[in-house]
Amino acid sequence: MRSEYKLIFERSHEGRRAYDLPECDAPDAMNEIPEELRASAPLALPELAEVDLVRHYTNLSRRNFGVDNGFYPLGSCTMKYNPKINEELAPLFDDVHPLMDPEMSQGCLALMKDMEDMLCEICGMDAFTLQPAAGAHGELTGLMHIRAYHEHRGDFDRKVMIVPDAAHGTNPASASMAGFKVKEIKSAPDGGVDLDALRAAVGPDTAGLMLTNPSTLGLFERNIKEIAEIVHEAGGLLYYDGANLNAIMGVVRPGDMGFDVMHINLHKTFSTPHGGGGPGSGPVGVKKHLIPFMPVPRIEENSDGMYYLDYDRPDSFGKIKSFYGNFGVIVKAFCYIRSLGGKGLKEASQNAVLNANYVMNKLRGIYEIPHDRTCMHECVVTPTEEMMENDVHTSDIAKALIDRGYHPPTIYFPLIVHEAMMIEPTETESRETLDEFVEAMRGIAEQVKTDAAAIHAAPVTTPVGRPDEVTAARKPIVKYEG
């Protein structure tokens, strides 16, 4: 049923209130502030009773879809189940002020230190910082290590970051923000790095290579050792984009593959909820030779076994975020790792890969599989030629999936596959969920033949239809005007 939903500003009634503060026990001091510095009018915020505010947001939430609502195979985003116990335990630390003296925040410091150690073991790295707030922030932080490393050696000409054309959009954007020139290299026909193209791209200006492994096609980069060798021999460093780490926990480690620096998305691999677009957390791990450049502060332990924050690190490239990271998110990921242990993490990765291959196998013959070999935690499929002839594209299939109760896969990415649909089931889905999803995909494929118009009209079950995005961008309305 289509329906508009009033904005909270449209529900305001003058004089209603939801707030409740104690009587002020200090004398009014507003006159201590000169009038010319004070607000001249009350803020034009809505006035609502508590019950109306609660219903507003509760009903808004019903116009949204999360992992708790259903299957969410959004490729590259690892939308696995978010355990409830972790949500309950993270707020235990809500009242700790970040500038408490270290003697009073030993618990927080110890937890972060323990988390860093566990991430080092999982990834085969020598040190981790938990400061970055999200994956892209982790990329930027990781690249700052590479920049600082070259600068420290007086190697100021290494300005080029090599990025495969299959990379996430954040990779080239992060490289530019870190001050590098981006050199894009074309992928080989099998979707992996083209070794000849890489050899031709490296040189004395190479700062490094950013790589996702498994790649954004969901395929393991079989030539990883040669790639590492080529980059290192040219004097560059190897950056690991950890977006796809969920495929390989306990199986193979980025540190052992030859990567010098990497980030993790705690909100993907380590089960913390994505919050509708954050907060995430993007810890960065490095090998020994990059430790001196890590952001301040580092958590260190003194001879009495007390943790403290070390800001006295002369070669550090500085600070990248207020305080120490998205601590609340870090706690949830910590809980996840402590719940599963080493064996459980490996079990998670194995089942993530199993589920992806199971889905890919069942979709074979219904959709095209441009790179048909054992995939890792996600697979990329495309519409058949027949579908395209009926003018049914990836976006139409996505909308038709919505009507069948699913969040669509990632669409039109990776860019190197025309009309890509990137499906990442994750390990937390049951066989029957996967079977039902495949049936839905089959049903869409059949409907293309019988009633393509119905697919073009999808979605019909949602509160609103397909938005006019062109007008939204041409004549932007980005706030309520009253």
Partner 1 sequence: MRSYVPNTEKERLEMLAEIGMKSMDDLFSDIPADLKLDRELDLPAPLSEAELRDLLHAYTVMNEEGGPLFRGAGAYRHYIPSVVPQLAMRSEFYTAYTPYQAEMSQGMLQSLFEYQTVICTLTGLDAANASVYDGATAAAEAMLMLRDNKRRKKILYSAGLNPDVIAVMKTYAHCAELELVEIPLTDKGVTDVSAVAANMEGAAGVIAANPNYYGCIEPMEEIAAAAHEGKGLLAAYVNPITLGALKRPGDYGADIAIGEGQPLGLPLAYGGPYVGFMAATKKLMRNLPGRIAGETRDAEGNRVFVLTLQAREQHIRREMASSNICSNQMLCAIMASMYCCVMGPNGMREVAAQNIAKAHLLAKKLCEIDGVSLRYPETPFFNEFVIDVKNAEAVNTALADYSITGGLILPDGGMLWCATEMNSAEEFDYVCDIVRDALEDMGGED
Residue from 116, 128, 139, 284 in contact with partner 1 (CB under 8 A): 139
Q: From 379-387, 423-431, 436-444, 448-456, give the range in contact with partner 1 by CB under 8 A.
A: 423-431
Q: From 35-43, 232-240, 380-388, 442-450, give the range in contact with partner 1 by CB under 8 A.
A: 35-43
Residue from 71, 80, 191, 211 in contact with partner 1 (CB under 8 A): 80
Q: From 52-60, 200-208, 381-389, 447-455, give the range in contact with partner 1 by CB under 8 A.
A: 52-60
Closest C-alpha among 67, 64, 166 to residue 426: 67
Rg of the chain taking only CA atoms, in angstroms? 25
- Which helix (H) or strand (E) covers residue 120, if one does? helix 106-123
**Paired residues of 72 in beta bridges:** none
* 284 and 292 Cβ atoms separated by less than 8 Å: no
Contacts to partner 1 from residues 426-455, by CB under 8 A: 427-431
Residue from 407, 422, 441, 445 in contact with partner 1 (CB under 8 A): 407
Is residue 294 at the binding interface for partner 1, with CB under 8 A as the rule? no
Residue from 71, 79, 212, 260 in contact with partner 1 (CB under 8 A): 79
End-to-end CA distance of the chain: 26
Is residue 393 at the binding interface for partner 1, with CB under 8 A as the rule? no
Is residue 127 at the binding interface for partner 1, with CB under 8 A as the rule? no
Contacts to partner 1 from residues 248-287, by CB under 8 A: 248-253, 256-257, 265, 267, 271, 273-280
Interface characters, 185-224, with partner 1 (x: CB under 8 A):
----------------------------------xx-x-x
DSSP string, 142-196: HHHHHHHHHHHTT-TT--EEEEETTS-THHHHHHHHTTPEEEEEPBPTTSSB-HH
Q: Which is nearer to partner 1, 405 or 443 (CB)?
A: 405
Is residue 169 at the binding interface for partner 1, with CB under 8 A as the rule? yes
Q: From 30-38, 194-202, 232-240, 446-454, give the range in contact with partner 1 by CB under 8 A.
A: 30-38
Is residue 1 at the binding interface for partner 1, with CB under 8 A as the rule? no
What's the gap between Cα 256 and its chain centre? 23
Contacts to partner 1 from residues 328-367, by CB under 8 A: 328-329, 331, 335, 337-348, 350-351, 353-355, 357-358, 361
Residue from 197, 291, 300, 321 in contact with partner 1 (CB under 8 A): 321
Which DSSP symbol is given to 22? P
Q: Which is nearer to partner 1, 393 or 399 (CB)?
A: 399
Rounded Cα–Cα distance for residues 121 and 127 (Å): 10
Q: How many Cβ atoms are within 10 Å of 170's Cβ, its own excluded?
A: 19
Rounded Cα–Cα distance for residues 334 and 130 (Å): 11
- Least separation in angstroms between CB 196 and partner 1: 20
> Which pairs with CB-CB distance under 8 Å and at least 24 residues apart come from 312-315?
315/148, 315/152
Which DSSP symbol is given to 362? H
What is the CA angle 241-266-227, rounded to 5?
15
Closest C-alpha among 87, 105, 109, 86 to residue 96: 105
